[in-house]
Copies of this chain bind each other. A is one copy, B any other.
Amino acid sequence: MSSNKWYIGIDLGGTSVKMAFIDDEAQIIDKWNIKTDTTNNGENIVKDISESIKTKIEEHQKDKDHIKGIGMGSPGFLEIDEGFVYHSVNIGWKNYPLKDELEKAVGLPVIVDNDANIAAIGEMWKGAGEGAKDVLCVTLGTGVGGGVITDGEIVHGVNGMAGEIGHTTAVLKGGVLCNCGKTGCLETVSSATAIRRMAIEGFKDHPESRLKKKYDKEGDISSKDVLDFAKEQDHLAMAVVKKASFHLGFALANFATVMNPAKIVIGGGVSKAGDTLLDPVKHYFRMYALPRVNEGVEIVAAQLGNDAGIIGAAWLAKTKL
Protein backbone atom coordinates (compact mmCIF):
# COMPACT_ATOMS: atom_id res chain seq x y z
CA MET A 1 0.00 0.00 0.00
CA SER A 2 3.01 2.30 0.30
CA SER A 3 3.17 4.99 -2.33
CA ASN A 4 6.93 5.03 -1.81
CA LYS A 5 6.72 8.76 -1.36
CA TRP A 6 7.90 10.41 1.82
CA TYR A 7 6.63 12.87 4.39
CA ILE A 8 8.75 15.25 6.40
CA GLY A 9 8.12 15.31 10.14
CA ILE A 10 9.48 18.28 12.08
CA ASP A 11 9.49 18.64 15.86
CA LEU A 12 10.59 22.09 16.95
CA GLY A 13 12.05 22.47 20.42
CA GLY A 14 13.78 25.28 22.24
CA THR A 15 17.21 23.68 21.79
CA SER A 16 17.03 21.66 18.59
CA VAL A 17 14.82 21.00 15.58
CA LYS A 18 14.26 17.28 15.00
CA MET A 19 13.51 16.36 11.41
CA ALA A 20 12.93 13.15 9.47
CA PHE A 21 11.88 11.65 6.17
CA ILE A 22 9.13 9.16 7.00
CA ASP A 23 7.26 6.83 4.69
CA ASP A 24 3.59 5.87 4.47
CA GLU A 25 4.02 3.18 7.10
CA ALA A 26 5.73 5.39 9.68
CA GLN A 27 9.20 4.01 8.94
CA ILE A 28 11.93 6.58 9.48
CA ILE A 29 14.04 6.77 6.30
CA ASP A 30 16.47 9.29 7.77
CA LYS A 31 16.38 11.58 10.78
CA TRP A 32 18.58 14.45 11.81
CA ASN A 33 18.72 17.50 14.09
CA ILE A 34 19.70 21.09 13.66
CA LYS A 35 20.22 23.70 16.35
CA THR A 36 17.29 26.01 17.10
CA ASP A 37 18.51 29.56 16.49
CA THR A 38 16.44 31.62 18.90
CA THR A 39 18.30 34.86 18.22
CA ASN A 40 16.30 37.77 16.74
CA ASN A 41 13.01 36.25 17.95
CA GLY A 42 13.60 33.08 15.98
CA GLU A 43 13.58 34.77 12.59
CA ASN A 44 16.20 32.39 11.11
CA ILE A 45 14.53 29.13 12.11
CA VAL A 46 12.39 28.60 9.02
CA LYS A 47 15.31 29.45 6.70
CA ASP A 48 17.55 26.99 8.59
CA ILE A 49 14.91 24.26 8.35
CA SER A 50 14.35 24.90 4.67
CA GLU A 51 18.06 24.76 3.81
CA SER A 52 18.56 21.64 5.85
CA ILE A 53 15.66 19.92 4.04
CA LYS A 54 17.00 20.89 0.63
CA THR A 55 20.45 19.54 1.49
CA LYS A 56 18.99 16.27 2.76
CA ILE A 57 16.80 15.79 -0.33
CA GLU A 58 19.91 16.21 -2.48
CA GLU A 59 21.89 13.79 -0.31
CA HIS A 60 19.21 11.17 -0.94
CA GLN A 61 19.32 11.99 -4.68
CA LYS A 62 15.60 12.67 -4.75
CA ASP A 63 13.44 15.42 -6.22
CA LYS A 64 11.21 17.58 -4.11
CA ASP A 65 8.31 15.76 -5.84
CA HIS A 66 9.26 12.73 -3.82
CA ILE A 67 7.97 14.50 -0.67
CA LYS A 68 4.23 14.72 -0.27
CA GLY A 69 4.18 17.31 2.48
CA ILE A 70 5.49 18.55 5.80
CA GLY A 71 3.97 18.11 9.24
CA MET A 72 5.41 20.23 12.03
CA GLY A 73 4.98 20.49 15.76
CA SER A 74 5.68 23.75 17.55
CA PRO A 75 5.57 24.74 21.19
CA GLY A 76 3.41 27.69 22.18
CA PHE A 77 -0.12 28.91 21.51
CA LEU A 78 -1.16 28.20 17.94
CA GLU A 79 -4.08 28.75 15.61
CA ILE A 80 -4.11 25.30 14.04
CA ASP A 81 -6.10 25.86 10.82
CA GLU A 82 -3.92 28.77 9.74
CA GLY A 83 -0.71 27.34 11.21
CA PHE A 84 -0.28 30.65 12.98
CA VAL A 85 1.81 30.99 16.15
CA TYR A 86 0.34 33.54 18.55
CA HIS A 87 3.18 33.21 21.00
CA SER A 88 5.96 30.73 21.59
CA VAL A 89 8.02 31.88 24.55
CA ASN A 90 10.93 29.43 24.19
CA ILE A 91 11.25 30.04 20.44
CA GLY A 92 10.74 33.79 20.41
CA TRP A 93 7.89 33.91 17.87
CA LYS A 94 4.99 36.27 18.36
CA ASN A 95 2.17 36.46 15.78
CA TYR A 96 4.28 34.41 13.37
CA PRO A 97 2.64 32.83 10.27
CA LEU A 98 4.65 29.59 10.53
CA LYS A 99 2.73 27.56 7.95
CA ASP A 100 2.86 30.31 5.33
CA GLU A 101 6.55 31.03 5.89
CA LEU A 102 7.60 27.40 5.74
CA GLU A 103 5.50 26.73 2.64
CA LYS A 104 7.07 29.71 0.93
CA ALA A 105 10.58 28.67 1.92
CA VAL A 106 10.37 24.96 1.02
CA GLY A 107 7.68 24.92 -1.66
CA LEU A 108 5.75 22.06 -0.09
CA PRO A 109 2.38 22.00 1.72
CA VAL A 110 2.71 22.33 5.47
CA ILE A 111 0.46 21.46 8.40
CA VAL A 112 1.26 22.66 11.90
CA ASP A 113 0.11 21.52 15.33
CA ASN A 114 1.10 21.78 18.96
CA ASP A 115 4.24 19.84 19.99
CA ALA A 116 2.44 17.85 22.69
CA ASN A 117 -0.29 16.90 20.21
CA ILE A 118 2.08 15.57 17.55
CA ALA A 119 3.82 13.40 20.15
CA ALA A 120 0.43 12.00 21.17
CA ILE A 121 -0.46 11.31 17.55
CA GLY A 122 2.90 9.62 17.00
CA GLU A 123 2.27 7.23 19.87
CA MET A 124 -1.22 6.56 18.50
CA TRP A 125 0.09 5.82 14.99
CA LYS A 126 3.08 3.65 15.73
CA GLY A 127 3.87 3.71 19.44
CA ALA A 128 2.30 2.58 22.68
CA GLY A 129 -1.18 3.65 21.62
CA GLU A 130 -1.06 1.74 18.34
CA GLY A 131 -4.45 0.58 17.20
CA ALA A 132 -6.36 2.75 19.68
CA LYS A 133 -8.52 5.65 18.50
CA ASP A 134 -9.18 7.12 21.95
CA VAL A 135 -5.91 7.96 23.62
CA LEU A 136 -4.87 10.19 26.49
CA CYS A 137 -1.14 11.05 26.43
CA VAL A 138 0.73 12.56 29.34
CA THR A 139 4.33 13.71 29.19
CA LEU A 140 6.17 13.99 32.49
CA GLY A 141 9.19 16.24 32.11
CA THR A 142 10.05 19.73 33.27
CA GLY A 143 6.31 20.22 33.19
CA VAL A 144 3.37 17.90 32.63
CA GLY A 145 2.10 18.04 29.05
CA GLY A 146 -0.85 16.30 27.52
CA GLY A 147 -2.56 15.37 24.31
CA VAL A 148 -6.09 14.09 23.88
CA ILE A 149 -7.19 11.99 20.91
CA THR A 150 -10.83 11.01 20.45
CA ASP A 151 -11.99 8.81 17.59
CA GLY A 152 -8.56 9.17 15.97
CA GLU A 153 -8.53 12.97 15.95
CA ILE A 154 -6.57 15.43 18.08
CA VAL A 155 -8.80 17.47 20.38
CA HIS A 156 -7.80 21.13 20.10
CA GLY A 157 -10.64 22.88 21.87
CA VAL A 158 -11.93 26.33 21.11
CA ASN A 159 -8.61 28.14 21.36
CA GLY A 160 -6.07 25.37 20.95
CA MET A 161 -5.55 24.81 24.67
CA ALA A 162 -6.98 21.29 24.99
CA GLY A 163 -4.74 18.72 26.67
CA GLU A 164 -3.38 21.01 29.37
CA ILE A 165 -3.70 18.26 31.95
CA GLY A 166 -0.60 19.62 33.72
CA HIS A 167 -2.53 22.73 34.67
CA THR A 168 -5.54 21.03 36.16
CA THR A 169 -5.67 21.62 39.90
CA ALA A 170 -4.41 18.70 42.00
CA VAL A 171 -3.82 20.39 45.36
CA LEU A 172 -6.77 22.44 46.53
CA LYS A 173 -5.20 24.22 49.48
CA GLY A 174 -1.62 25.29 50.10
CA GLY A 175 -0.39 24.15 46.68
CA VAL A 176 2.89 25.33 45.20
CA LEU A 177 2.83 28.27 42.76
CA CYS A 178 2.89 27.07 39.15
CA ASN A 179 4.44 28.83 36.12
CA CYS A 180 0.90 29.39 34.82
CA GLY A 181 0.05 31.65 37.76
CA LYS A 182 -2.25 29.21 39.55
CA THR A 183 -1.29 27.12 42.57
CA GLY A 184 -1.44 23.38 43.09
CA CYS A 185 -1.42 22.38 39.40
CA LEU A 186 -0.75 18.70 38.62
CA GLU A 187 2.57 19.91 37.22
CA THR A 188 3.58 21.05 40.72
CA VAL A 189 3.31 17.50 42.11
CA SER A 190 3.82 15.03 39.24
CA SER A 191 6.49 16.51 36.93
CA ALA A 192 10.20 15.68 37.05
CA THR A 193 10.74 19.14 38.50
CA ALA A 194 8.19 18.45 41.24
CA ILE A 195 9.65 15.06 42.09
CA ARG A 196 13.08 16.62 42.64
CA ARG A 197 11.60 19.52 44.64
CA MET A 198 9.45 17.32 46.86
CA ALA A 199 12.47 15.13 47.66
CA ILE A 200 14.55 18.13 48.71
CA GLU A 201 11.63 19.44 50.79
CA GLY A 202 11.57 16.04 52.53
CA PHE A 203 15.18 16.13 53.74
CA LYS A 204 14.20 17.73 57.06
CA ASP A 205 11.90 14.80 57.90
CA HIS A 206 14.14 12.13 56.36
CA PRO A 207 17.74 13.08 57.21
CA GLU A 208 18.66 9.39 56.84
CA SER A 209 17.64 9.29 53.15
CA ARG A 210 20.33 8.38 50.64
CA LEU A 211 18.93 11.19 48.54
CA LYS A 212 20.07 13.68 51.17
CA LYS A 213 23.51 12.08 51.26
CA LYS A 214 23.79 12.35 47.50
CA TYR A 215 22.58 15.95 47.61
CA ASP A 216 25.10 16.90 50.32
CA LYS A 217 27.91 15.24 48.37
CA GLU A 218 27.10 16.34 44.82
CA GLY A 219 25.20 19.56 45.44
CA ASP A 220 22.00 18.38 43.74
CA ILE A 221 19.77 15.44 42.94
CA SER A 222 17.66 14.68 39.89
CA SER A 223 14.18 13.21 39.51
CA LYS A 224 15.92 10.12 38.14
CA ASP A 225 17.78 9.76 41.45
CA VAL A 226 14.46 9.85 43.29
CA LEU A 227 12.98 7.13 41.07
CA ASP A 228 16.15 5.01 41.22
CA PHE A 229 16.30 5.23 45.03
CA ALA A 230 12.59 4.49 45.33
CA LYS A 231 13.25 1.23 43.52
CA GLU A 232 15.86 0.51 46.19
CA GLN A 233 13.30 1.17 48.97
CA ASP A 234 14.64 4.51 50.19
CA HIS A 235 11.76 5.79 52.34
CA LEU A 236 11.83 9.43 51.30
CA ALA A 237 12.13 8.50 47.63
CA MET A 238 9.23 6.08 47.98
CA ALA A 239 7.06 8.71 49.69
CA VAL A 240 7.76 11.22 46.92
CA VAL A 241 6.98 8.72 44.15
CA LYS A 242 3.81 7.75 46.00
CA LYS A 243 2.68 11.36 46.19
CA ALA A 244 3.45 12.09 42.52
CA SER A 245 1.73 8.85 41.47
CA PHE A 246 -1.32 9.46 43.61
CA HIS A 247 -2.01 12.84 42.06
CA LEU A 248 -1.34 11.59 38.54
CA GLY A 249 -3.40 8.42 38.97
CA PHE A 250 -6.29 10.34 40.53
CA ALA A 251 -6.32 13.01 37.80
CA LEU A 252 -6.10 10.41 35.03
CA ALA A 253 -8.94 8.41 36.59
CA ASN A 254 -11.20 11.46 36.50
CA PHE A 255 -10.27 12.41 32.93
CA ALA A 256 -10.66 8.81 31.80
CA THR A 257 -14.12 8.69 33.37
CA VAL A 258 -15.05 11.63 31.15
CA MET A 259 -13.13 10.55 27.99
CA ASN A 260 -13.25 6.73 28.22
CA PRO A 261 -9.89 6.19 26.44
CA ALA A 262 -8.58 2.82 25.24
CA LYS A 263 -5.01 3.76 26.12
CA ILE A 264 -3.30 6.15 28.46
CA VAL A 265 0.27 6.67 27.32
CA ILE A 266 2.74 8.05 29.84
CA GLY A 267 5.87 9.54 28.34
CA GLY A 268 8.67 11.96 29.10
CA GLY A 269 11.85 11.52 31.08
CA VAL A 270 10.17 10.42 34.31
CA SER A 271 8.32 7.60 32.53
CA LYS A 272 11.66 5.90 31.81
CA ALA A 273 11.47 4.66 35.39
CA GLY A 274 8.94 2.14 34.07
CA ASP A 275 7.02 0.15 36.65
CA THR A 276 8.46 2.08 39.61
CA LEU A 277 6.16 4.84 38.46
CA LEU A 278 3.55 3.01 36.38
CA ASP A 279 2.56 0.52 39.08
CA PRO A 280 1.52 3.08 41.70
CA VAL A 281 -0.13 5.26 39.03
CA LYS A 282 -2.19 2.24 37.93
CA HIS A 283 -3.03 1.47 41.55
CA TYR A 284 -4.48 4.91 42.22
CA PHE A 285 -6.14 5.03 38.81
CA ARG A 286 -8.03 1.81 39.57
CA MET A 287 -9.11 3.16 42.96
CA TYR A 288 -10.85 6.16 41.42
CA ALA A 289 -11.93 5.27 37.87
CA LEU A 290 -15.42 4.01 37.06
CA PRO A 291 -15.28 0.19 36.75
CA ARG A 292 -16.31 0.04 33.07
CA VAL A 293 -13.82 2.78 32.23
CA ASN A 294 -11.17 0.77 34.05
CA GLU A 295 -11.98 -2.32 32.01
CA GLY A 296 -11.64 -0.43 28.74
CA VAL A 297 -8.27 1.18 29.33
CA GLU A 298 -4.64 0.15 29.32
CA ILE A 299 -2.01 2.36 30.94
CA VAL A 300 1.31 2.03 29.14
CA ALA A 301 4.70 3.72 28.90
CA ALA A 302 5.40 5.67 25.72
CA GLN A 303 7.49 3.72 23.20
CA LEU A 304 8.75 6.19 20.66
CA GLY A 305 10.83 8.40 22.93
CA ASN A 306 12.14 11.43 21.07
CA ASP A 307 10.79 10.11 17.76
CA ALA A 308 7.13 10.50 18.78
CA GLY A 309 6.98 14.10 17.57
CA ILE A 310 8.49 13.59 14.12
CA ILE A 311 6.35 10.49 13.54
CA GLY A 312 3.17 12.26 14.65
CA ALA A 313 4.06 15.25 12.49
CA ALA A 314 4.44 12.94 9.48
CA TRP A 315 1.02 11.40 10.29
CA LEU A 316 -0.53 14.87 10.14
CA ALA A 317 1.06 15.45 6.73
CA LYS A 318 -0.14 12.03 5.54
CA THR A 319 -3.75 12.37 6.70
CA LYS A 320 -4.47 16.10 6.68
CA LEU A 321 -2.79 17.49 3.56
List B contacts of A182 (CB < 8 A).
288, 290
Q: Does the CB pair B161–A292 fall under 8 Å?
A: yes
Q: Does the CB pair A158–B257 fall under 8 Å?
A: no
Stretch of A21-29, A96-104, A247-255 that contacts chain B: A247-255
- The residue in chain B whose Cβ has the minimal distance to the Cβ of A136 is B258
- The residue in chain B whose Cβ has the minimal distance to the Cβ of A161 is B260
Interface presence of A67 (CB below 8 A): no
List B contacts of A181 (CB < 8 A).
291
List B contacts of A168 (CB < 8 A).
253-254, 257-258
- The residue in chain B whose Cβ has the minimal distance to the Cβ of A256 is B157
Q: Does the CB pair B134–A169 fall under 8 Å?
A: no
Interface presence of A162 (CB below 8 A): yes
Stretch of A146-154, A188-196, A211-219, A221-229 that contacts chain B: A146-154
Instruction: Mark each residue of chain A from 44 to 64: 1 if its CB lies under 8 Å from any CB of chain B, else 0.
Output: 000000000000000000000
Which residues between 123 and 154 of chain A lie within 8 Å of chain B, taking CB atoms? 132-134, 146, 148, 150-151, 153
Q: Does the CB pair A260–B292 fall under 8 Å?
A: no
- The residue in chain B whose Cβ has the minimal distance to the Cβ of A298 is B158
Instruction: Mark each residue of chain A from 151 to 167: 1 if its CB lies under 8 Å from any CB of chain B, else 0.
Output: 10101111111111101
Residue in B151, B159, B257, B258 whose CB lies within 8 Å of A153: B151
**Closest beta carbon of chain B to A318's beta carbon, Å:** 19
Which residues between 229 and 266 of chain A lie within 8 Å of chain B, taking CB atoms? 250-251, 253-255, 257-262
Q: Does the CB pair B258–A165 fall under 8 Å?
A: yes
Interface presence of A77 (CB below 8 A): yes
- The residue in chain B whose Cβ has the minimal distance to the Cβ of A77 is B292
Q: Does the CB pair B159–A151 fall under 8 Å?
A: no
**Closest beta carbon of chain B to A271's beta carbon, Å:** 19
Interface presence of A296 (CB below 8 A): yes
Interface presence of A1 (CB below 8 A): no
The CB with the most chain B CB atoms within 10 A, among A132, A159, A297, is that of A159
Q: Does the CB pair B157–A261 fall under 8 Å?
A: yes
Q: Does the CB pair A158–B297 fall under 8 Å?
A: yes
**Closest beta carbon of chain B to A279's beta carbon, Å:** 20
- The residue in chain B whose Cβ has the minimal distance to the Cβ of A254 is B168
A260/B293 contact (C-beta < 8 A), A182-B288, A254-B254 known: no
Kindly state the separation between the CA atoms of A293 and B158 in the bound complex, as whole angstroms.
9
Q: Does the CB pair A158–B262 fall under 8 Å?
A: yes
The CB with the most chain B CB atoms within 10 A, among A157, A182, A255, A258, is that of A258
18 additional A-B pairs beyond A77-B292, A161-B292, beta carbons within 8 Å, are A148-B259, A155-B259, A157-B293, A157-B296, A158-B260, A158-B262, A158-B297, A159-B260, A161-B260, A162-B259, A164-B258, A167-B257, A168-B258, A169-B253, A172-B250, A181-B291, A254-B254, A258-B258
A-B contact pairs, 8 of them (CB 8 A): A146-B258, A155-B259, A158-B296, A161-B257, A161-B290, A180-B290, A182-B288, A251-B254
